[in-house]
Amino acid sequence: MVGIVVVSHSPDLARAAVNLALQMVHGPAPRIEIAAGTSDDRLGTDAARVAEAIVAAEDGGGVVVIMDLGSAVLSAELALELVPEPGIQTRLVPAAFVEGIFASVISAAGGAELDAVARDAEQALQAKAAQLGQTQPPIEAADSIIAPAAIVAKATIVNPDGIHARPAALIVEALAFVDARVMVATDRSARSPTALMSLGAQAGDVLRVEADGADAAVAVDRILALVRNGFSELAGRDRLGRETVGHDRLSPHPIGVSPGRVVGPALRMPDPITEPDPTIRVPEAERPAAIKRLANVATDTAEQLRSRSTAAGTVGQLLEATAAMATDPDLIADASLRIRDRGLTPERAAWEAIGSVADTIGAAGPRQAERVSDLYDIRNRMVSSLTGRAAPGVPDPGHPFVLLAVDLAPADTAGLDTARCLAIVTEEGGATSHTAIIARSLGIPAVVGVPSATAIPDGTLLLVDGITGEVIKEPTVDQQAATAPVLRPHREKLMSPGSTADGHRVALLANIGSARDIASALECGAEGVGLYRELYFLGRTEAPSVGEQVNACRAVFSRFAGRRVVVRTLDAGSDKPMPFLGYVEEPNPALGVRGFRTAASHPELLHDQLMAIKVAAEAETAEVWVMAPMITTVDEVRSFAQGADDAGLPIIGVMIETPAAALQAELILAEVDFVSIGTNDLAQYTFAADRHSASLASLNDPWQPALLRMVEMVTGAAADSGKPVGVCGEAAADPQLALVLAGLGVSSLSMAPGALAEISRSLAAVTLDVCRRAARAACDSDSPSSAREAVRALLTT
């Protein structure tokens, strides 16, 4: 990549300009070196420093130097003579300082060559000139300048602000590594952010895209997808950029929720098993054959389980025990009688017979929950086999695949084999659903809200783009060719603790839930852990023992010695079902027994978890904080604080995830040491909108002003109490929204590790005062899109 050197009299000025530009880069950034101030820390420039910076910025593609004024130019010229490595190609660019840095960073990140980067920087002022009405070029010109073989396509710009800086950066980024010459409006290179911005293209304008070269089709497809998706700026808007009302807003549309672009064969997640019809009767003459079928299927099911039981020690023994249950003579006899005497179908007979054994065992107490769960597993396998359907659970076809599902349970997603599962496409779900959260942390590209995804036949080749939300059936060879370079998200490291440009600290922490997440949090330089999700409980048929929990916690604490680790106690129920809690069917699980409410029915679970956290904390040196999820009343807070205090835990808090908790933040803070706002649930409960519903995704938009006002209520109470308030929902990972949250008074932001570096750059580019103004503007807006616009306008003035 081309490297960039920024020469300025003022280190603060240079850092702020660089940070502003880096906000537009989502993939790998070019090497950027700042040579600012004199050696005795005064305002000024120093040729020797510039020469060192040139050497450090060289990355094989040459170096572009952007200078502020006066002696900066003289120092840069002199530096060329001082550079100890004469081979470095260097261009001193007479560019406007901020625009030049901005254009060169985006252009270099997009893979442009040295002269092109220099030209983009030099021409960067044109965009401003065009904005001010000087020499505005027409959007569409008549003739193509590209060869007749070029691919030409058009798309109407639908996002309200047209092609401003962010869309321009997205286009340049989408074309990185794509081998094609690409022009828009016939004479502007689509690889140049300034050329794109200087189009002045507005909503409703038709953008003409032309490309030739090996990847021409890919290039055109990518740009069209971005344009049609409104550069992801359409939340709350219709296709013409108008504010939407009522029904329109609720139709599902694909949303890319975890980045990466891959190609692979489709594989459908089997449908969940449904209860067989109890009213169907088998004619008497056919009953002996039905009984035989049932017995054969029981034997086959046992054999399937035994064939997997060779794998691992304890797991193998458990599978062997389960296999024996499938052919239990009493069970088969009971089911056979139901066929012989009542004429039930074999699947209905298996359903009832196994259900009755499970009820009897389940009544013996929660410790038998594992057996009950095994029995249901056998029942589901037998019913699927008797009705000719695929076995439940994530299939293993023996080759990589793109998983298609209506939605996925967290246990299914968390257990996905990242070597096999190339991407996830679901019909349901939103950006804060667990499928999305876990896919992001595993680095599996994902698109949610794709209507009829599960109607796509198995084996169909699919291209999935987790940024643009595209899902293309049978992609062309050209489209497939451009998938490799962005196969897995790039992990960038956080270089310094989170802080605004004027030194206001905002701790940048990681959300983790698995051993894989611990590794990426460390790799990305997290300052600590802001949410240790209890995913080690997921998919378990039996609660982990205290010993197991101690080990799980120590594995995290030991890696974050001396740093903060916030452990959340069990957040089971609803979207995180945990079989050991029993199988209580609730008509409305999100409003049912979940989160801290399970402590009332299973106090021993909370007690064991708090003890395990305490033991692990004592054995390690991490600064352990503990918090309870899904709190609604002050009494719950008192009860949790008492339990945690009894366990000897020193720093106790709760999550604010319901409007009731936000409204009582002041009273809650009087009982605990800190609060952490779970914006994913707080949005779902504030808007009464299921966070897993694709149709309601726009209501769960974290930019909803009503949600931000809830946050404001909590931060206001926290400021009065002098206690810390964090945000650990997905809102924390949005670079602009993070500024709003900081402005509202949030003292820590916790997110998927991969987002940390970008959030840190975003904060470092602005002062606390700007954050506060952004917060005010967002809270006072009347819709998510106007909140976004208000903040964007503030940041670009």
Choose from Mg ion, ligand PEP, none: what does 435 bind? Cβ within 5-8 Å by kind: none
Pairwise CA distance, residues 447 & 420, whole Å: 17
**Which tokens go with 545?**
């023992």
Q: Applying CB under 5 A, which of residues 160, 429, 678, 702 lies at the interface with Mg ion? A: 678
Question: Alpha-carbon dihedral of residues 405, 410, 411, 415, nearest 10 degrees?
Answer: 80
CA distances for 514 relative to 292, 415, 624, 681, angstroms = 45, 10, 17, 21
Select 76 or 552, whichever has its Cβ closest to ligand PEP.
552
Q: Tell me if residue 374 falls in helix, strand or coil.
A: helix
Report the residue number, 150 or 552, with the smaller CB distance to ligand PEP: 552
Helical pair 705-721 and 735-744, crossing angle rounded to 10 deg: 40
Residue 83 Cβ vs ligand PEP, minimum distance, rounded to whole Å? 50
Q: Is 177 exposed, middle or buried (0-12, 13-18, 19+ CB in 10 A)?
A: middle
Minimum distance from residue 727 beta carbon to ligand PEP (Å) = 8
Does residue number 260 form part of the binding site for Mg ion (CB under 5 A)?
Answer: no
Cβ atoms of 99 and 24 within 8 Å: the answer is: no
Structure tokens belonging to residue 666: 């002041």
Residue 3 interacting with Mg ion (CB under 5 A): no
Look-up: residue for tokens 């098993």? 273
Q: Burial letters for 775-784: b for 16+ Cβ neighbours within 10 Å, e otherwise?
A: bbbbbebebb
188 binds, among ligand PEP, Mg ion, none (CB under 5 to 8 A by kind): none
Q: How far is the CB of 313 from ligand PEP (least distance, A)?
A: 32
Least spacing, CB of residue 696 vs ligand PEP, in Å: 15
* 508 three-state secondary structure: strand
Tell me which residues touch ligand PEP (CB under 6 A): 437, 531, 533, 571, 657, 678-681, 728-729
Among 215, 428, 470, 681, binds Mg ion (CB under 5 A): 681
Contacts of 730 (CB under 8 A, 6+ apart): 431, 432, 436, 437, 679, 680, 702, 751
- Phi and psi at 391, nearest 5°, equal -65, 145
The least CB distance from residue 264 to ligand PEP, in Å, is: 28
Strands lying side by side in the sheet with 63-67: 32-36, 3-8, 63-67, 90-93
State the nearest-atom distance from the C-beta of 596 to ligand PEP, in Å: 12
Residue 221 interacts with Mg ion (CB under 5 A): yes or no: no
Residue 700, binding choice from Mg ion, ligand PEP, none, Cβ under 5 to 8 Å by partner class: none
| Catalytic annotation, residues | 434, 728
> In terms of CB distance, is 109 or 713 closer to Mg ion?
713
Q: Which does 533 bind (CB under 5 to 8 A by kind): ligand PEP, Mg ion, none?
A: ligand PEP
Which one, 201 or 535, has the nearer CB to ligand PEP? 535
- 726 near Mg ion, rule: CB under 5 A: no
> How are the residues of the chain apportioned to helix, strand and coil, as percentages rounded to the nearest 5?
45, 15, 40
Q: To the nearest whole angstrom, how small is the minimum distance from the Cβ of residue 749 to ligand PEP? A: 12
510 binds, among Mg ion, ligand PEP, none (CB under 5 to 8 A by kind): none
H, E, C per residue of 631-653: CCCHHHHHHHHHHHHHCCCCEEE
- Contacted entry of ligand PEP, Mg ion, none for residue 106, CB cut-off 5 to 8 Å set by kind: none
**123 or 432: whose CB is closer to ligand PEP?**
432
Minimum distance, C-beta of residue 695 to ligand PEP, in the bound complex (Å): 20
Q: Contact, 181 vs 234, CB < 8 A? A: no
Residue 371 binding result from ligand PEP, Mg ion, none, given CB thresholds of 5 to 8 Å by partner type: none
Alpha-carbon torsion 41, 45, 48, 50, what sign?
positive
Residue nearer to ligand PEP on the CB measure, 268 or 692: 692
Give the span between the Cα atoms of 95 and 80, in whole angstroms. 18
| Residue whose pair of structure tokens reads 């992990």 in the numeric block | 491
* Min dist. Cβ of residue 684 to ligand PEP (A): 8
Partner in contact with 380, chosen from ligand PEP, Mg ion, none, beta carbon below 5 to 8 Å by kind: none
The smaller minimum CB distance to Mg ion, of residues 514 and 680, is found at: 680
Binding range to Mg ion, per CB under 5 A, among 17-25, 423-431, 549-557, 653-661:
653-661
Which residue stretch of 332-340, 491-499, 657-665, 687-695 sits at the interface with Mg ion (rule: CB under 5 A)?
657-665
Name residues whose C-beta falls within 8 Å of residue 540's C-beta, 6 or more positions apart in sequence: 578, 579, 580
CA-CA-CA-CA dihedral for 574, 577, 581, 582, to nearest 10: 90
Residue 259 found at the interface with Mg ion (CB under 5 A): no
Contacted by 549, from Mg ion, ligand PEP, none: CB < 5 to 8 Å by type: none
Residues with Cβ within 8 Å of residue 503, at least 6 apart in sequence: none
Nearer to ligand PEP, 210 or 681 (CB): 681
Check if the beta carbon of residue 7 is closer than 8 Å to that of residue 66: yes
Based on CB atoms, which residue is closest to ligand PEP, 449 or 726?
726
Point out which residues bind Mg ion (CB under 5 A). 657, 678, 681
